[in-house]
C-alpha cells in the first residue's frame, strides 16, 4: 500500500474484435461473453488480477483487448 498503483481497466477495440473468445476463457472473473460471443468487460481490474489481465490482452489473436488507465465514470 506504500505506492499508489495506477488504476487499470480493460478496453475492447471493437472493430478489431471478432469474438474469438480467448479473453473470456483466460479471465472469466472480469470478462463474460454476450449471446453473440463478444466480450462483456466488467469495470476495473483489481491488482491481484492485473497479471492475468495482461496475459489475456497478450493472448488476443486480434490484438483487440487493451489495458488502459481506469477513468471513473
Partner 1 sequence: MTQPRSALATPRPALEVMIAPGPLLLSTVGRGPELAVHEAQWGPLPALSTQALVELTAAAELRGRGGAGFPFARKLTTVLANRRLGRAPVIVVNAAEGEPASAKDTALILTAPHLVLDGAVLAARALGAREIHVMTPTERPGSGTAVTAALAERRQRGGERVTWRHHEVGARFVSGQAQAVLEHIAGRVGLPVTAWVPEAVRGVRGRPTLLSNAETYAQVAALCHVGLSEYAAVGQDSSLGTTLLTVNRMTDDRLIERYPLVVEVPTGAPLSTVLDAEDLRSPVLLGGFHGTWARPGQLAGARVSRPDVEARGLALGAGVVAPYAGSCPEGVTATIVDYLAGESAGRCGPCVNGLPALARAMTGLVADPGRSGPARGEVERFCGLVAGRGACTHPDGVVRLVRSLLTLMDAPEGWDQL
Q: Does 17 bind partner 1 (CB under 8 A)?
A: yes
CB of 2 to partner 1, least distance (A): 31
Q: Does 23 bind partner 1 (CB under 8 A)?
A: no
| CA torsion, ordered 23, 24, 27, 32, to nearest 10 deg | 140
The Cα 31–Cα 53 span in angstroms is: 10
Q: Does 38 bind partner 1 (CB under 8 A)?
A: yes
The one among 28, 37, 43, 46 contacting partner 1 by CB under 8 A: 37
User: What is the 3-state composition of the chain as percent helix, strand, coil, each rounded to the nearest 5?
Assistant: 25, 25, 50
Size of site (CB under 8 A) for partner 1: 16
Amino acid at each position: 500500500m506504500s505506492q499508489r498503483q495506477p488504476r487499470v481497466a480493460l478496453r475492447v477495440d471493437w472493430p478489431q474484435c471478432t469474438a474469438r473468445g480467448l479473453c473470456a476463457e483466460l479471465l472469466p472473473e472480469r470478462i463474460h461473453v454476450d449471446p453473440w460471443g463478444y466480450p462483456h468487460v466488467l469495470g476495473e481490474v483489481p491488482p491481484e488480477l492485473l497479471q492475468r489481465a495482461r496475459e489475456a490482452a497478450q493472448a488476443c489473436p486480434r490484438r483487440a483487448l487493451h489495458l488502459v488507465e481506469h477513468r471513473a465514470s
